[in-house]
Chains A and B, each alone.
Chain A
């Protein structure tokens, strides 16, 4: 899909061993596949079906998303930071698109 922009809020730095809050938001219609269009035919399902967050290549959080989840899914989770590195966020779309963004974090 076009015009999909992932947004992420990660602290710029943390102390080693800190548990930090990560907030993510992506604009996406999350069409459930259960609605009918004006012509009476079902609107095909198109949702983000999987979200993954990696830190330095290792998965720290991942979840499957289901059709009942509302548009523009917002996910908030925590992660423990022991070293400086890069968080990589990946959203997978039903149509095969993959939306990605990265955030660096430093250690104080």
Chain B
């Protein structure tokens, strides 16, 4: 009887350990093909100086159901907001009586591949500029319209629409322009700086522990090639600065303002870490 109990206990211990290995949340071996037509790059060779052996899209870390949602643009819930963005593109706003289309024409042509090269150096403001800020720049300088408030539904929709025109294009930002390298350095430093009561840096989770679980969730490499991303949790698009702030908040730190110097530097650096991955906007994540 006693032996039996011991045997049982061993079996229990084994079942605890074995599935622990089997269900580790590492990347899956799967290919992302959107609408049976666009072959997406979800694994890329890292750029020089990258700390990881392979650059992986967050798509590979998600469950099969979530991955499936992204393979069909009809099923992708983020496309509803991209459609809103298409409408905004053609909507006249501001005192100049212009829409985005007045200058840029058909976004499918004029914006093809553009989203893959942001953040870019902005000579006028002497700092990097992302798609959100470029839209605001156009609105205030060319259209005579107000800049969008951070995370206004219009800002997310239009950004997603612009980036969606680069669907499939590999992320490639130019660090040789202006002062981009020093912003990259600042971003690099921010990435490895521990913050908050939990004393975590970006690297603690996304570099050292990607593929492992954080509570019930898989940690990815934290690449931003799919932003604005549709998150099932929020049932809406989530911007990259919202995500940065969310992560920093989760370390129980005070989080910086959106588009502040530190977050722009972080966007430059984190975007670079995802070099070579296809733009997935709007990606679908949990």
Which residues of chain A have a CB within 8 Å of any CB of chain B?
Answer: 5, 7, 9, 23, 25, 27, 70-72, 74
B75 within 8 A of A: yes
Contact B235 A71 (CB under 8 A): yes
Please, how many angstroms separate the alpha-carbon atoms of A72 and B236 in the complex?
Answer: 10
Give every chain B residue within 8 A of A74 (Cβ-Cβ): 75, 77
Using an 8 Å CB-CB cutoff, how does the interface string of B72-101 with A read, 1 for contact, 0 for none? Answer: 001101001001000000000000000000
Contact B74 A23 (CB under 8 A): yes
B interface size (C-beta, 8 A): 6
Q: Nearest chain-B residue to A26 (Cβ)?
A: B80
Contact B75 A23 (CB under 8 A): yes
- Total contacts A-B at CB 8 Å: 16
Give every chain B residue within 8 A of A5 (Cβ-Cβ): 83
Contact A27 B80 (CB under 8 A): yes
How distant is B78 from chain A, measured CB to nearest CB, in Å?
Answer: 10
| For the complex of A and B, 7 pairs with smallest distance between CB atoms | A9-B74, A71-B235, A27-B80, A72-B77, A23-B74, A70-B235, A72-B80
Please, how many angstroms separate the alpha-carbon atoms of A25 and B75 in the complex?
Answer: 8
Give every chain A residue within 8 A of B83 (Cβ-Cβ): 5
How distant is B176 from chain A, measured CB to nearest CB, in Å?
Answer: 42
Give every chain A residue within 8 A of B77 (Cβ-Cβ): 72, 74
Q: Nearest chain-A residue to B72 (Cβ)?
A: A23
14 additional A-B residue pairs with CB within 8 Å, beyond A74-B75, A74-B77: A5-B83, A7-B74, A9-B74, A23-B74, A23-B75, A25-B74, A25-B75, A25-B80, A27-B80, A70-B235, A71-B235, A72-B77, A72-B80, A72-B235
Please, how many angstroms separate the alpha-carbon atoms of A25 and B79 in the complex?
Answer: 11
How distant is A73 from chain B, measured CB to nearest CB, in Å?
Answer: 10
Please, how many angstroms separate the alpha-carbon atoms of A9 and B77 in the complex?
Answer: 14
Please, how many angstroms separate the alpha-carbon atoms of A70 and B69 in the complex?
Answer: 15
How distant is A44 from chain B, measured CB to nearest CB, in Å?
Answer: 19
Give every chain B residue within 8 A of A25 (Cβ-Cβ): 74-75, 80
Please, how many angstroms separate the alpha-carbon atoms of A9 and B76 in the complex?
Answer: 13
Between A and B, 16 residue pairs with Cβ closer than 8 Å are A5-B83, A7-B74, A9-B74, A23-B74, A23-B75, A25-B74, A25-B75, A25-B80, A27-B80, A70-B235, A71-B235, A72-B77, A72-B80, A72-B235, A74-B75, A74-B77
Give every chain A residue within 8 A of B235 (Cβ-Cβ): 70-72
Please, how many angstroms separate the alpha-carbon atoms of A72 and B74 in the complex?
Answer: 12
Select the residue from B74, B75, B83, B235 with max chain A CB neighbours within 10 A.
B74
Please, how many angstroms separate the alpha-carbon atoms of A71 and B80 in the complex?
Answer: 11
Please, how many angstroms separate the alpha-carbon atoms of A74 and B72 in the complex?
Answer: 13
Q: Give the residues from 179 to 194 in chain B that come closer than 8 angstroms, CB to CB, to chain A.
A: none
Give every chain A residue within 8 A of B80 (Cβ-Cβ): 25, 27, 72
Give every chain B residue within 8 A of A7 (Cβ-Cβ): 74
Please, how many angstroms separate the alpha-carbon atoms of A70 and B77 in the complex?
Answer: 11
Please, how many angstroms separate the alpha-carbon atoms of A108 and B86 in the complex?
Answer: 35
Please, how many angstroms separate the alpha-carbon atoms of A104 and B111 in the complex?
Answer: 34
Please, how many angstroms separate the alpha-carbon atoms of A99 and B150 in the complex?
Answer: 33
Please, how many angstroms separate the alpha-carbon atoms of A74 and B80 in the complex?
Answer: 12
Q: Nearest chain-B residue to A25 (Cβ)?
A: B74
Q: Give the residues from 269 to 284 in chain B that come closer than 8 angstroms, CB to CB, to chain A.
A: none
How distant is A93 from chain B, measured CB to nearest CB, in Å?
Answer: 17
Please, how many angstroms separate the alpha-carbon atoms of A13 and B67 in the complex?
Answer: 28
Q: Nearest chain-A residue to B77 (Cβ)?
A: A72
Please, how many angstroms separate the alpha-carbon atoms of A25 and B83 in the complex?
Answer: 13
Give every chain B residue within 8 A of A70 (Cβ-Cβ): 235
Please, how many angstroms separate the alpha-carbon atoms of A82 and B80 in the complex?
Answer: 33
